[in-house]
Chains A and B, each alone.
Chain A
């Protein structure tokens, strides 16, 4: 049984304890009247006195246990012992040769069983009491009507107690669940508000400062690169959904932007990436070729900015990589330059696409990549 620190369970326990003390007192008075009274004749008064002593000691012992070790209340042997004493109180009068003097005491055992085992405990308690009552009816012929009435009263009381306990516990669980959900929601909201507030603050202070550093011509390229890197990281953390727009996870846009970030982090140049549209199609070849071209531009063009433009058009994806750097004569590139030949031109050819390199010394370079995707 999962218990939260609510007031319900201790309250139930104290109701049972209170009832036990009351019932033990009731049994003692009835027993004393039977022994000392003049209306009846008790064959074995020792049994009556012994039973009174037993329930009083048991009530004292269980109450003490409840105060000192509340957890021990829920053990099976304690429930069993309690039921046994309750059943004994039902038949004690029979053995003593007098009328029944148990009063309401037998119910205590069943209540304890309900407290510990719920409905199952109720059935267990009711069965034990009823079986004891029936046994008494069968063994003795007199006062059968009284015994049947007692048993029915027991059944009814146990059933009612089990029902009430179950209903109380269900409503308590619901309230707990509602409270937990409310607390969770409150915690989530506070966290979201804190995040938004921090984002607004950082946006207004840190991002602005990083922007200022980037446009400060007196700062070294290293410092500007660092500011750019920090700005991108901060932005990704502050606005995780922004900039990606309706991005397809692992799609064209995300792959290309990731490649640009990765190369920018090498620190050679700022990669200005603009991506229009998105596609989940297999775009790995063109993105890999683009990576090679961006790397070339940032390393060899001698510029601090490279423009990358990606677009998903009808049935094809396009990537343009442009720099305003030193440029070169594409026809004069030696065979041994694997970068351009193998990684860009051959790769695009192999995958049914194309690569065009427009460059001349001193006038910058543009690499134009095109890959059919099949989906028009």
Chain B
């Protein structure tokens, strides 16, 4: 069974998620602080870490970066009560394979975890919107077309996800297989993580300042 580790500084939330997921998944531990979390994750090596975006001492980003420096194979799914785009995009860029809000239903959360473990990128409609916004805001000049631009198909897939379609439904709408949809989303995730850092930083700053 899939092993999961929970990092969140809210006891109530950790306890709630633990009991909700206990039926389908094995919770191998939880932590409320960044540094203990990194140590425990390295020690227990779960399949996936559910990590809160907002925490003292660097938040989910610090946990992801710390673990990935020694264990690049451990997967991360970001979760947060806040929808601030710059925080979410920054966490995904640090290496999270997806993002869900804390209002997600237990079933959807379990589903999202399974999909990340299966190798998919999990994009909520909100995250799809953020990504579309971020890429369309990038300056056209000095772009690496392979990394800094979405293909027409990738945009279409993102738009459908932002409209509320599931991967399977997107496939039906666009006459492609669900697997192809997943591949497109993985490509988008890779671009988001690797693309022109300066431009995305500027996008985040612009949002922050206005």
Contacts and interface: CB of A to CB of B under 8 A. Distances in A.
Interface of A: 203-204, 207-209, 211-212, 214-215, 217, 228, 239, 241-243, 245-247, 272, 274-277, 307, 309, 311, 320, 322, 324, 366
B129 A243 contact: no
Given A276-B133, A309-B129, A245 B85 contact: yes
A214 B103 contact: yes
Nearest to A368: B163
Interface stretch (B66-74, B76-84, B111-119): B76-84
Across chains A and B, which 10 residue pairs bring their CB atoms closest together, nearest first?
A: A307-B164, A274-B129, A211-B102, A309-B163, A322-B164, A214-B103, A320-B163, A276-B132, A211-B81, A274-B162
A222 B176 CA distance: 40
A246 B206 contact: yes
A217 B106 contact: yes
Nearest to A312: B136
B162 A215 contact: no
B12 A212 contact: yes
Interface string B1-31: 0000000011011001000000000000000
Given A215-B103, A274-B125, A274-B128, A207 B82 contact: yes
Given A211-B81, A246-B207, A366-B163, A276 B129 contact: yes
Interface in B118-162: 125-126, 128-129, 132-133, 136, 159, 162
Interface in B162-190: 162-165
B136 A212 contact: no
Interface residues of B, number: 32
Interface of B: 9-10, 12-13, 16, 54, 81-85, 101-106, 125-126, 128-129, 132-133, 136, 159, 162-165, 206-207, 210
Contacts, number: 82
Contacts of A211: 13, 81, 101-103
Given A277-B136, A309-B162, A272 B105 contact: no
Given A212-B16, A246-B210, 19 more contacts: A204-B10, A204-B54, A207-B81, A208-B102, A211-B81, A214-B103, A215-B103, A215-B104, A239-B84, A243-B83, A245-B85, A245-B133, A272-B125, A274-B162, A277-B133, A307-B125, A309-B159, A311-B132, A311-B159
B13 A212 contact: yes
A214 B101 CA distance: 11
19 contacts: A204-B9, A208-B12, A208-B102, A215-B104, A243-B83, A243-B85, A246-B207, A247-B210, A274-B125, A274-B162, A275-B129, A276-B129, A307-B125, A307-B163, A309-B163, A309-B164, A311-B132, A311-B159, A320-B163
